[in-house]
């Protein structure tokens, strides 16, 4: 089990200096909880640096390079203690299922709030390896066969904690995966702040990281397939 007293050592892999700078400042602002141990702008240097530094989490972006990014992810994750977290822009074409199959432990949207990104790093660092493998297997099956795996009792127990409002939000996200939070808020007649609050509750109840994690979970477990969502019961309190 990871030592909770030591900072989470994060290595950054991205070819964009501005992205590296932003992530560097975001993560180091959370010291002593986490810190940037190194950064690389090519996959070859990422492999060399990871071998030297042995970071806990590798924040990994897909970009044009001489090396295949999926092969790089697979090589990085040969060390079970080194966990890869993929950074993806909302409109970037990243092979999510293949990245998970290669060993990535999670996907983070670049458009997510900074606190969600920080929480993703912490969650991936402490996430159980067995749970990761089961989740990855389910996702791979969905991607390959186009069917929804059966839910287990444990998942049904977690899903039973969802409120009608939270289920409606899940339905909205699955219905339009590329929609921005402000668009979802306007469609449901609530504020963007309320959307983020409910999403945080959903992530906590289902033990998820972010919006992509939620989308894959909803597809895998058929959260929106059995019946249409209930009529809107959103109420926003002042």
pLDDT band at 179 (very low <50, low <70, confident <90, very high): confident
The residues, any chain, with a CB within 8 Å of residue 172's CB and separated by 6 or more, are 179, 184, 187, 188
Residue 128 domain flag = yes
Same domain (yes/no): 108, 174 = no
> Could you give the dihedral angle defined by the CA atoms of residues 178, 184, 187 and 188, in that order, rounded to the nearest 10 degrees?
140
Host domain of residue 29: 8-132
- For residue range 116-174, list pLDDT tens digits in order: 888 889 988 886 543 444 344 444 443 333 333 333 346 766 777 788 788 889 988 88
**Could you tell me if residue 141 is inside a domain?**
no
62 within some domain: yes
47-88 residue pLDDT tens:
999 999 999 999 999 999 999 999 999 999 988 889 999 998
pLDDT at 234: 36
CA-based radius of gyration for the chain: 18
């Amino acid at each position: 089990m990871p030592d909770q007293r030591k900072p989470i050592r994060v290595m950054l892999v991205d070819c964009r200096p501005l992205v590296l700078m932003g992530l560097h400042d975001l993560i180091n602002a959370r010291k002593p909880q986490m810190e940037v141990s190194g950064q690389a702008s090519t996959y070859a240097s990422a492999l060399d640096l990871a071998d030297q530094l042995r970071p806990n989490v590798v924040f990994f972006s897909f970009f044009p390079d001489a090396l295949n990014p999926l092969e790089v992810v697979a090589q990085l994750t040969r060390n079970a203690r080194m966990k890869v977290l993929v950074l993806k822009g909302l409109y970037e074409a990243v092979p999510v299922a293949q990245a998970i199959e290669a060993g990535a432990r999670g996907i983070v949207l670049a458009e997510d709030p900074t606190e969600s990104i920080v929480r993703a790093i912490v969650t991936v660092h402490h996430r159980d390896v067995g749970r990761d493998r089961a989740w990855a297997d389910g996702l791979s099956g969905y991607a390959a066969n186009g069917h929804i795996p059966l839910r287990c009792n444990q998942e049904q127990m977690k899903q039973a904690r969802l409120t009608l409002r939270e289920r409606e939000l899940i339905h909205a996200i699955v219905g339009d995966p590329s929609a921005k939070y402000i668009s979802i808020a306007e469609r449901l007649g609530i504020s963007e702040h309320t959307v983020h609050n409910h999403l945080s509750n959903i992530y906590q109840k289902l033990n998820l990281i972010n919006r992509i994690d939620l989308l894959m979970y909803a597809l895998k477990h058929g959260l929106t397939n059995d019946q249409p969502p209930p009529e809107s019961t959103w109420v926003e309190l002042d």
